[in-house]
């Protein structure tokens, strides 16, 4: 990089840079290609290079060089995934800290007098290079682990800095259709496109409903999923059958959920009742089904409108009133009372873990209860026990 700086000061071909600003792009390409080898992990080397990515001009030309490299390398492999290469590219481009305003772009490795006329000093040019780089990277098949890493940072590190975030629609909808943790992670990006960029996704709620399986109470992305599900189900314009289907499915899955998830999902369900009073029929149905064999709800039905959730009752939450964890039993018992109009704040419960519950329980102090008992003497507690004469239990 010192050579890059020196060559910028003294161009190899003077006439070539007579009327333009010099930046040794070819030399920088050599550096970039060395940072992203195809058959070995270069993450340590890349971490040392990150200090140069703070220079606006270096960052711009690195993005251009990476875009060019991806096209050439992936074309040679005929679109087959290259785990080492793609991981190296991700390690190089994921920490990129894009400027939010043009006046913030003041740090350049190559000193120029007429910087105002330089394309690299324009924020729009940076956004275009950034957008093209990520679109080129994401259009090729990614290893599963890398897929998840991209989706984790997509909503706050990529979409806000693109000229046209809607270009990510195909990538996100494809990820949403994969299923499992990848679909959960795609929710954040889709939420931004739906609410901020008017994306229409006709089967969105059907797909969201299909994501409700036993794993949602156990995956490490649980907090993110329920935070977004809370936003998606907050609209008062949603039909009662749809919300009832979500309530019923969450309740059925709660039968096998761990206590830390139950302490979060029960207030979550109560909030849904507060927003959608038409669903309270699930609670106030005295002659409704009392167990699984009588329940008309069809758990296997993928279409919420055909699940018959509104014909059912919440016997599952009544069962949880006898849960072994007293906090869960107490939370489930709230359905026996009339719910207040004020919603419960579940933000503090989303990240609740089993270790936190355990620590809280062992810190509780219990009152001493007086008991009457006869002290045990000897080994067998008999009156004339020979052990009582020679040994005591004190």
pLDDT in tens, 305-328: 899 998 888 889 989 999 989 899
> Which of the residue ranges 16-25, 211-220, 286-295 would you say has the lowest mean pLDDT?
16-25
Do 315 and 291 touch, CB atoms closer than 8 A? Answer: yes
Which whole number is the average pLDDT over 216-237? Answer: 87
Do 174 and 185 touch, CB atoms closer than 8 A? Answer: no
Residue 94: count of CB within 10 angstroms of its CB: 15
Residue 121: count of CB within 10 angstroms of its CB: 20
Q: Which is more confident, 67 or 6?
A: 67
Query: Does the pLDDT value for residue 371 go beyond 80?
Result: no
Alpha helical stretches, state H, the chain: 2-9, 25-35, 43-49, 56-76, 83-93, 123-138, 144-153, 169-176, 180-196, 204-210, 222-232, 240-254, 259-275, 315-319, 326-332, 354-362, 386-390
Rank 194-203, 280-289, 327-336 by mean pLDDT and report only the highest.
327-336
pLDDT score, position 19: 41
CA nearest neighbour of 268 among 311, 223, 307? 223
> Which of the residue ranges 46-50, 125-129, 183-187, 306-310 would you say has the lowest mean pLDDT?
183-187
Q: What is the DSSP letter of 38?
A: S
Rank 52-56, 66-70, 180-184, 333-337 by mean pLDDT and report only the highest.
66-70
For 394, counting Cβ atoms within 10 Å of its Cβ (0-12 exposed, 13-18 middle, 19+ buried), the class is: exposed
Do 357 and 324 touch, CB atoms closer than 8 A? Answer: no
Rank 107-121, 125-139, 188-202, 337-351 by mean pLDDT and report only the highest.
125-139
What's the rounded Cα separation, in Å, for the pair 65 and 133? 9
Which residues lie below 8 Å from residue 24, measured CB to CB, with a gap of 6+?
A: 3, 4, 7, 8, 11, 12
Q: Is the pTM of this model over 0.85?
A: no
Query: Does the pLDDT value for residue 20 go beyond 80?
Result: no
Q: Which is more confident, 258 or 202?
A: 258
What's the rounded Cα separation, in Å, for the pair 59 and 212? 42
pLDDT score, position 36: 94
Q: How confident is the model at residue 30 (pLDDT cuts 50, 70, 90)?
A: very high
Query: Does the pLDDT value for residue 5 go beyond 60?
Result: yes
Which residues lie below 8 Å from residue 384, measured CB to CB, with a gap of 6+?
A: none
Report CA 235 to chain centroid distance, whole Å: 22
Query: Does the pLDDT value for residue 195 go beyond 90?
Result: no
Q: Quick one: which H or E segment has residue 372? A: none
**pLDDT tens for residues 68-81?**
999 888 888 776 77
> Which of the residue ranges 315-319, 356-360, 377-381 would you say has the lowest mean pLDDT?
377-381
Q: What is the DSSP letter of 154?
A: I
**pLDDT tens for residues 100-153?**
888 878 888 877 655 555 677 788 889 999 999 999 999 888 888 898 899 989
Alpha helical stretches, state H, 276-385: 315-319, 326-332, 354-362
Mean pLDDT, rounded, of the chain: 84
**pLDDT > 90: what percent of the chain?**
30
Query: Does the pLDDT value for residue 89 go beyond 80?
Result: yes
Which whole number is the average pLDDT over 72-100? Answer: 87
Which whole number is the average pLDDT over 154-175? Answer: 89
pLDDT score, position 15: 45
pLDDT score, position 385: 66
> Which of the residue ranges 93-97, 183-187, 198-202, 333-337 would you say has the lowest mean pLDDT?
198-202
Do 135 and 128 touch, CB atoms closer than 8 A? Answer: no
pLDDT score, position 377: 61
CA angle 217, 219, 224 (to 5 degrees): 85
pLDDT score, position 90: 95
SS3 label, residue 11: coil
pLDDT score, position 64: 93
Query: Does the pLDDT value for residue 388 go beyond 70?
Result: no
What's the rounded Cα separation, in Å, for the pair 333 and 266? 10
């Amino acid at each position: 990089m010192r050579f890059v700086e020196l060559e910028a000061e003294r161009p190899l071909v003077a006439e070539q840079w007579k009327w333009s600003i010099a930046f040794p792009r070819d030399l920088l390409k050599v550096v970039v290609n060395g940072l992203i080898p195809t058959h070995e992990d270069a993450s340590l080397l890349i971490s040392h290079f990150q200090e140069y990515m703070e220079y606006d001009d270096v960052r711009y030309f690195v993005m251009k060089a990476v875009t060019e490299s991806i096209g050439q390398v992936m074309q040679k492999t005929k679109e087959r995934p290259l785990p080492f290469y793609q991981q190296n590219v991700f390690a190089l481009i994921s920490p990129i800290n894009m400027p939010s305003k043009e006046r913030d772009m003041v740090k350049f490795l190559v000193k120029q007098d007429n910087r105002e006329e330089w394309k690299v000093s324009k924020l729009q040019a940076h956004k275009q290079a950034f957008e093209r780089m990520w679109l080129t990277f994401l259009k090729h098949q990614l290893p599963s682990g890398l897929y998840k890493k991209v989706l984790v940072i997509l909503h706050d590190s990529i979409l806000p800095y693109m000229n046209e975030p809607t270009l990510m629609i195909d990538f996100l909808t494809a990820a949403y259709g994969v299923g499992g943790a990848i679909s959960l992670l795609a929710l954040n990006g889709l939420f931004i496109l739906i609410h901020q960029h008017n994306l229409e996704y006709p089967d969105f709620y059907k797909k969201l409903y299909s994501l409700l399986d036993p794993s949602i109470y156990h995956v490490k992305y649980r907090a993110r999923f329920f935070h977004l599900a809370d936003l998606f189900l907050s609209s008062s314009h949603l039909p009662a059958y749809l919300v009832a289907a979500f309530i019923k499915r969450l309740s059925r899955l709660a039968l096998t959920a761990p206590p830390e998830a139950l302490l979060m999902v029960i207030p979550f369900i109560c909030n849904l009742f507060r927003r959608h009073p038409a669903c309270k029929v699930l609670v106030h149905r005295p002659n409704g089904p009392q167990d699984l064999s009588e329940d008309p709800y069809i758990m296997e039905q993928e279409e919420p409108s055909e699940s018959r959730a509104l014909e059912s009752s919440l016997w599952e939450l009544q069962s949880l009133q006898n849960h072994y964890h007293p906090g869960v039993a107490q939370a489930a018992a709230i359905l026996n009372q009339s719910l207040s109009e004020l919603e419960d704040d579940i933000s503090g419960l989303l990240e609740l873990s089993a270790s936190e519950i355990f620590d809280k329980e062992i810190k509780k102090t219990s009152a001493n209860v007086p008991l009457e008992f006869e002290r045990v003497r000897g080994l067998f507690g008999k009156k004339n026990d020979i052990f009582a004469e020679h040994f005591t239990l004190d």
